[in-house]
Amino acid sequence: MMEQFIEIKANNPGSLLFYRMGDFYELFFDDAVEASRALGITLTRRGQHMGHDIPMCGVPVHAADDYLQKLISLGFRVAVCEQVEDPAEAKKRGGKSVVKRDVVRLVTPGTLTEEKLLSPSESNYLMALARIRGSSEPAMALAWIDISTGVFRLAESDGPRLLADILRIDPRELIVPDSMFHDPELKPVFDVLGRTAVPQPAVLFDSATAEGRIARYFDVGTLDGFGSFSRAELAAAAAAVAYVEKTQIAERPPLGRPERESAASTLFIDPATRGNLELTRTLTGDRNGSLLKAIDRTVTGGGARLLAERLMSPLTDPARINERLDSISLFLNEASLAEDLRDALKHVPDMPRALSRLALDRGGPRDLDAIMQGLSTASGIAERLDVADLPRELAEALADLKTLPAYLWSLLASQLADDLPLLKRDGGFLREAASAELDEVRALRDQSRRVIAGLQLQYADETGIKSLKIKHNNVLGYFIEVTAGNAGSMTDTPEAKARFIHRQTMANAMRFTTTELADLESRIANAADRALTIELEAFERMAAAVVAEAEPIKAAARALSVIDVARALAALAEEQGYCRPHVDDSRMFAIVAGRHPVVEQALRRQSAGPFVANDCDLSPQNGSKHGALWLLTGPNMGGKSTFLRQNALIAIMAQMGSFVPAGSAHIGVVDRLFSRVGASDDLARGRSTFMVEMVETAAILNQATDRSLVILDEIGRGTATFDGLSIAWAAVEHLHEANCCRGLFATHFHELTVLSEKLVRLSNATMRVKEWHGDVIFLHEVGPGAADRSYGIQVARLAGLPATVVARARDVLTRLEDADRKNPASQLIDDLPLFQVAVRSQEQSSAKPSKVEEALKSMNPDDMTPREAMDALYALKSQLAAG
């Protein structure tokens, strides 16, 4: 047996081997050591190999999914090894023959289908990256597949945007050729992706055989009907298909035909911007607090996945954007229809994932039921939605719903029971009357006593022996027993002897059997097995019928997701008071009363008062054909970062096809969105906070176009004052003159505000504050003009800095402002000794207590009446006045 394990393990390097032994998956050698540590299960031993104990641990087969989930989340890959031979066949080869086993599936993060291992609201993509050298075509391409839903898409890419394209899809597993994985130029990309990126043999990515591999998978002679693809795209697609075949062994998931995505069709958002804007995850990795969490009102798994997909890949085509907005408008105008659809959609199961499990022979009765319920619900939704003047998106969805085969629902409804087991091997999922043979076998299995009693009565009537009994023991099985005196009627005639076969003579009784009784005994003994066999055969027929209709089922599921997303975004708009944005091909960016969608909801939950809305107009002005650039100044805590982010999020929401948190919004399509907000370092790659800031800024200045939207916050603050000011100054000029983009540039370098005098598209804006008795009140309002100071000391006081530090800071600030601007530090050295605060504190601590202090120490307020306290206060005041 261990020889078999070692051989199979050698053929599956890099994976933990789940070796089936009875009711357990066992792991041996290093696999056992790693698994026991990862899963927290006991490590034992089984025999020896080459003189050393063999480590072993195991997990129950019935609970394997739970352990797989943990291993996959930790980055492991698992090879599942099952028995592929009946033990009886193995015995024929000899008593010590080992049952044949083989790997039936490789479980990897990107090839999961089990319901327990997947999040219903998240896609689970496997991605392949291919590169073609020395070609006039784009050098790189990506192909991504979700085998749990059948999605299959392709896109071209290149070095500068590669990481952004990968993170837009957010795959769970990325396969790359060995040579590419070790390319120093791409190392930064794979460092960011970590264990998600997995090297694979280069033969999987061979572009010469790629078209044939894809054609064989889809059983077509040519790919001409699929569209036109570059060599790199074909190589990536073939690699993805090859990896699916490699991991699924003999099974084939029902993939959709590959769809090509154009890079220009979606809004480019670089990796830093995705992180800064917290689209699907916060900076800490939590879904709560993200934009996706704030806007998600979907009620189906498919709808949640589609919403996330649209958020990660906003469109750049105004026509398609407005089609999505039309759908939302319909549901806002038809509130009763939207509510009816919401109630119906709540009952929509995840048909694509159920379909995939059935196609891969991992499905169960509940997956068939999911298809049946989905068909029924889809039919009802189609009837509700079949109204005049539907927007194009919803009209196409309705057409897809109408393609569902009606016979399939009838087939499943006539076969499936009301109460279904989880696993098909448990049986009991076919309803009564679904099969006459099954009903008979079940009667034998479940009602054998009644059947035997009926046969006993029949024999008693036939022989006239009222005391005749049918009994059972482990030696004879079922037999007829009569007293010796009554046995004559069963032995006297040849006909009786032929009918009743003598089995055994006892002292006072004789035992017989009949051909009928022996046959019945055999049928009763095999009834359970036969019942399960009949049900499994029926299951295979139903699963085959479902898989044969995979395309219309997937199209209908996609249609239901489209309806759910449109309805959900309409509910969001109604609930939060969002407006429909006007999206076109212009360079406009005019937001009136814009709000931050996440912060606004957080304030409402905390009952912290209303969100302060602000306008933002970056539209072309003064005859310019390019958008405007705002230079935003004002104090920390004034709301600059919130204002910056909210405008970026409004642009994303508008282009994903959603209403937006504003009074009104006119947005000319943005082709690239860049946001550089906040500070972070990259110590693993030897980058300081300032270096990361400069790298991200460089990417923006090198890639932004006149259609882009750029959000920059505090550029240059990570270095010396004059260095930072110079960098910020030059960056503003470059954005204005070279990039010609629409942008918001927040800064504490007030010196930059003079640039508005020479840069015609640059305007100054500030976060308004109000001072009251030495305190600063943040109004969170944006208005024209420039801030005269940053109010940093007031913010420091609010943060809880010691009073001595705040006082010292005020003193330093006053002297800095009065000092010679050419060399303020020279006067500070003489006039403000470094340890002045410490010396002053020491002098105060060594001074003799005053009479007032001594009087205060002697008082006990808890023992004083109000009148006594008042008198004591006047006495202290008199002592203080007397000195």
Tell the residue number behind the tokens 């009074």, with chain if given.
663
Beta strands in 557-606 (DSSP E): 582-584, 589-594
Asked whether 599 and 611 are in contact (CB, 8 A), the reply is: yes
Residue 710: count other Cβ atoms within 10 Å of its Cβ.
Answer: 28
Q: Which two tokens stand for residue 158?
A: 């290149």
Cα separation, 160 vs 186, whole angstroms: 10
Nearest to 119 by CA among 79, 77, 69: 69
Per the CB < 8 A criterion, the answer to whether 686 and 619 are in contact is no
Instruction: Retrieve residue 93's tokens.
Output: 């080869």
Contact 539/424 with Cβ under 8 angstroms? yes
The answer to whether the beta carbons of residues 326 and 393 sit under 8 Å apart is yes
DSSP string, 635-677: -TTSSHHHHHHHHHHHHHHHHHT--BSSSEEEEEPPSEEEEE-
For residues 660 and 594, what is the distance between their CA atoms, to the nearest angstrom?
Answer: 8
**CA distances in angstroms from 40 to 25, 32, 35, 437, 702, listed in the order given:** 16, 11, 8, 48, 50
DSSP assignment of 283-322 equals TTS-STTSHHHHH----SHHHHHHHHHHHHS-B--HHHHH
Phi-psi sector, 464: left (phi>0), alpha (psi -120 to 50), beta = left
**Under 8 Å CB-to-CB from 338, ≥6 apart: which residues?**
331, 332, 567, 570, 571
According to DSSP, the β-strands at 589-594 and 614-617 are antiparallel
Positive/negative CA dihedral, 155, 159, 161, 165: positive
3-state SS assignment for residue 260: strand
| Residue 51, Cβ density class (10 Å: 0-12 exposed, 13-18 middle, ≥19 buried) | exposed
Q: For 686, list phi and psi in degrees, rounded to 5.
A: 70, 30
H runs (alpha helix) in 778-847: 792-799, 803-818, 824-831, 836-846
Judged by DSSP in three states, 529 sits in helix
How many whole angstroms separate alpha carbon 602 and alpha carbon 496?
91
Between the alpha carbon of residue 176 and those of residues 143, 179, 181, 858, the distances in Å are 11, 8, 6, 80
**What does residue 104 show for φ and ψ, rounded to 5 degrees?**
-105, -10
Nearest to 811 by CA among 789, 844, 833: 833
Going by the annotation, the residues of the binding site for ATP are 634-641
Amino acid present at 171: P
DSSP alpha helices (H): ranges in 684-802? 689-703, 721-734, 792-799
Say how far apart CA 741 and CA 702 lie, in whole Å: 12
Residue numbering of the annotated binding site? 634-641
